[in-house]
A = this chain, B = another copy of it.
Amino acid sequence: MEIYRTEKRQRYLEEYSIGNLFSFPIEEFLEVHEYKRDEWIIQEGMRPDFLFYVIEGKAKIYVTHQNGKVSLINFIKEEDFFGEMELLNPIYYTKGIQASTTMICFAIPFHRCRAKMLEDAAFLRELAKFLSVKSTQMAAKYTQSLSFPLENRLADFILQTADAEIYKEKHVTVCDFLGVSYRHLLYVLAQFCEKGYLKKEGRHYRIQQLNELEGLARVLLNE
């Protein structure tokens, strides 16, 4: 982890202003943190000292269950907050946050800003909006996972993450995210290839029949 100082910090403050999210001057309190790929930004079970706002990069939210299974709850991306649970709730079991690319965040120290933030309607409105979307998404994911087999959820995931017809997510990550075993994921990917929806090219997959995948993903839609 690296904390940007002086000019470098200043550059980020100017380029990615979040002043509009607050009705008090926030800049002076902002730290700019950089995390490397795979670095743990927040350890599971530990309380962070900052509210974070993502400027660049992606991260993953993990939780470990008693039986040792790990769930990838969600991805965090540009313009998301994290650490907001700990800002609002004195008691909270903190999830682990791991950078999946190099990540640059604004870090707002609780000890200097908690009171101000909790009094600021502009900020709280943004935060409530963010939380309402988050909660809606989780509810959607929850009901989808109960109502549809992997086939549908995987099709959706492939479409969301594919880049120019190439799908190349790590199987291990996808298993944690979609909550299925490695074995089963490979079965369903193999089915997609058999049916001609995908074509395996080395360690990647090329989308061959977009329509079919869209059809499978579409039934999830609604909310």
Collect the chain B residues with CB atoms within 8 Å of residue A121's CB: 118-121, 124
How many chain copies? 2
Binds B, one of A9-17, A66-74, A206-214: A66-74
Q: Is A63 an interface residue (CB 8 A)?
A: yes
How far, in whole Å, are A25 and B117 apart by their CA atoms in the complex?
23
Q: Is A164 an interface residue (CB 8 A)?
A: no
How far, in whole Å, are A127 and B219 apart by their CA atoms in the complex?
32
Q: Known: A138-B138, A219-B65. Is A71-B143 also a contact (CB below 8 A)?
A: yes
Q: Is A29 an interface residue (CB 8 A)?
A: no
Interface residues as binary, A200-223 with B (CB distance below 8 Å gives 1, 0 otherwise): 000000000000000000111111
Instruction: State how many angstroms separate the Cβ of A130 from the closest Cβ of chain B.
Output: 9
Q: Is A89 an interface residue (CB 8 A)?
A: yes
Chain A binding site: helix, strand, loop or mixed by DSSP?
helix
Q: Is A191 an interface residue (CB 8 A)?
A: no
The count of chain A contact residues (Cβ–Cβ below 8 Å) is 50
Q: Which of B71, B92, B124 contacts A147 (CB 8 A)?
A: B71
Q: Is A125 an interface residue (CB 8 A)?
A: yes
Q: Which of B69, B129, B144, B219 contacts A89 (CB 8 A)?
A: B129
- Mark A residues whose CB is within 8 Å of B: 63-67, 69, 71, 73-74, 84-85, 88-89, 92-93, 95, 118-121, 124-125, 127-129, 131-136, 138-139, 141-148, 178-180, 218-223
